[in-house]
Amino acid sequence: MNIVILAAGQGKRMRSTLPKVLHPVAGRPMLAHVIATAQQVAQSRSLPANTIVVIGHGADQVRATFSDRSDVRLVLQQPQLGTGHAVQQAAPLLQDDEPTLVLYGDVPLVRAETLTRLIDGAGGEVGLLTVELADPTGYGRIVRDGRGNVLKIVEQKDANDRERAIREVNTGILVVPTARLKQWLARLSNNNAQQEYYLTDVIAMAVHDGVRVAATASTDVDETLGVNSKSQLAVVERIVQRRAAERLMEAGATLADPARIDVRGEVVVGADVTIDIGCVFEGRVQLADGVRVGPYCVLRDVTIGARTQVNAFSHLEGTTVGSDARIGPYSRTRPGAALEDEVHIGNFVEVKASRMGRGAKANHLAYVGDAEVGARTNIGAGTITANYDGANKHRTEIGVDASIGSNAVLVAPVKIGDGATIGAGSVVSEEAPAGKLTVARARQVTVEGWKRPVKKGKSQ
């Protein structure tokens, strides 16, 4: 199946150096959404997807963004002389024995189900996706004959008063027999108000050549929305987030407010998951049964076990958390953190590239980096693992049932034995033996006769 996605436009109204199709929706470029939907359609029909993206403005940035996509071919339209001209650039790459589906990189909400209806409705001829708008200003109008057959599409600037009164408009999305499409592209003219080559002229050519044009109406105006400004981008973002919230609730999650959640990736939820307001989910997030996520948390590429609580304002990234754990409030985990069942980390605790064993605790004001922490070990307030020597990272090993006193510094590489106790305020740079108290701090001294300095008077 041929898929041509038009993505060459400048997007002046975006007022940005970023090409329009690279502006993110739900954490991914708009263009990436369109590619994914189109390829989903091809897969559902058991057809290979010959995906061609026509680029122009900001071509280098688009190429860089999709440089790792071997399943997408990019062709340059330079200069940009209209939608018909854009498809002409892709024509040499199209396979004649498969239909061509034409999509737009700035229309990211179109559904795979709608495109499937469009293709099925075309029945191997021309299929055109339309929508009825209360205010059709700016859109190409669908002109039909008295029996309802599609005759042509007339652009706003070329339409007469009667045609401008038509509310059924062209979305630009169509499916065409490829061999026919190539013939019609060769016949396009720029004899119009814009002096551009309109792809929509293909419809009139099809009618002239006796090819049926099947108009499939979209049942959801939202999915046909294009993005030409930051305001329209914000509207589309909210629609995507509403859809994501609906999917989560259908899967069994309870959302404190469906309008105050942002999903910028994939979220998989078990039963009885509760998500409070203001949370952001990025990458792939898995929340098992009974997980509770407090307000204003950020979870990126995280897996969380059953009944774990993530309390307010916590930031978890690249982390796995076991069952019945308690995180936060105001906790941070960084990539490589692995917290086993029943672990507690509390306010202003940071864990990075470390494993904390079952039931281990660091309840406040601690940094655990590049460490292995044994089960049931307790890390006191203000304690850190000093893992970086200015050039390299080093590991700290803490055994099971250890107790690390407040304000301790564990200078890696260092090992703390099972059941060891580290006295508060200690700076430990050598092995602390199992089952013993280790204290590494200066002896307290009281200086007799010492007097605190006083400020000199202004006259002195």
Q: Name the active-site residue from 33, 208, 364, 394.
A: 364
Strand partners, 327: 310, 345
For 276-279, the CB contacts below 8 A with 24+ separation are 276/312
Active site residue 208: no
Q: What is the 3-state secondary structure (H, E, C) of the chain?
A: CEEEEEECCCCHHHCCCCCHHHCEECCEEHHHHHHHHHHHHHHHCCCCCEEEEEEECEHHHHHHHCCCCCCEEEEECCCCCCHHHHHHHHHHHCCCCCEEEEEECCCCCCCHHHHHHHHHHHCCCEEEEEEECCCCCCCCEEEECCCCCEEEEECHHHCCHHHHCCCEEEEEEEEEEHHHHHHHHHCCCCCCCCCCCCCCHHHHHHHHCCCCEEEEECCCHHHHCCCCCHHHHHHHHHHHHHHHHHHHHHCCCEECCCCCEEEEEEEEECCCCEECCCEEEEEEEEECCCCEECCCCEEEEEEECCCCEECCCCEEEEEEECCCCEECCCCEECCCEEECCCCEEEEEEEEECCEECCCCEEEEEEEEECEEECCCCEECCCCEEECECCCCECCEEECCCCEECCCCEEECCEEECCCCEECCCCEECCCECCCCEECCCCCCCCCCCCCCCCCCCCCC
Amino acid at 54: V
Determine the Cα–Cα distance for residues 51 and 47; give it in Å rounded to an integer: 12
Q: How far apart are CA 219 and CA 394, in angstroms?
A: 59
For residue 79, say if its preceding peptide bond is cis, omega within 30 degrees of 0. yes
Q: Are 351 and 325 in contact (CB under 8 A)?
A: no
Residues annotated as part of the active site: 364
